[in-house]
Amino acid sequence: MTHDALATLGLAAAAAIFGAAFGGVYFAALRRSVSRYCAGERGLVFGARILARLGAAALVFTLSAKLGALPLAAALLAFLLARASAVRAASRPA
């Protein structure tokens, strides 16, 4: 393997770790938003939280894309694994 290939794999591994961590935070924030919505919270602050969460996701994936296709794919895959974990945790009986 060349130095460039190892660097790309390193970036992909770092992007995957960051994607998983970001996914965990993102879906925890989403769960809190759903709870607040069900409790009757509405308004500008609620909408701002939604836009901030979506903006953060756009920023993370834009930065990952600037690193290359493999880091973007790794970050997205890890994010989707965090989503699967969040869905599984939410569907467990309390």
* pLDDT, position 74: 97
Q: From residue 13, give the alpha-carbon distance in Å to each of 19, 48, 71.
A: 10, 32, 7
Q: Based on the structure, what is the number of domains in the chain?
A: 1
In this predicted structure, what is the pLDDT of residue 12?
Answer: 94
The parent domain of residue 65 ranges over 3-91
pLDDT of residue 24: 97
CA 69 to chain CA centroid, nearest Å: 17
Confidence grade of residue 7 (pLDDT, cut at 50, 70, 90): confident
Average the pLDDT over 54-68 and give the result. 96
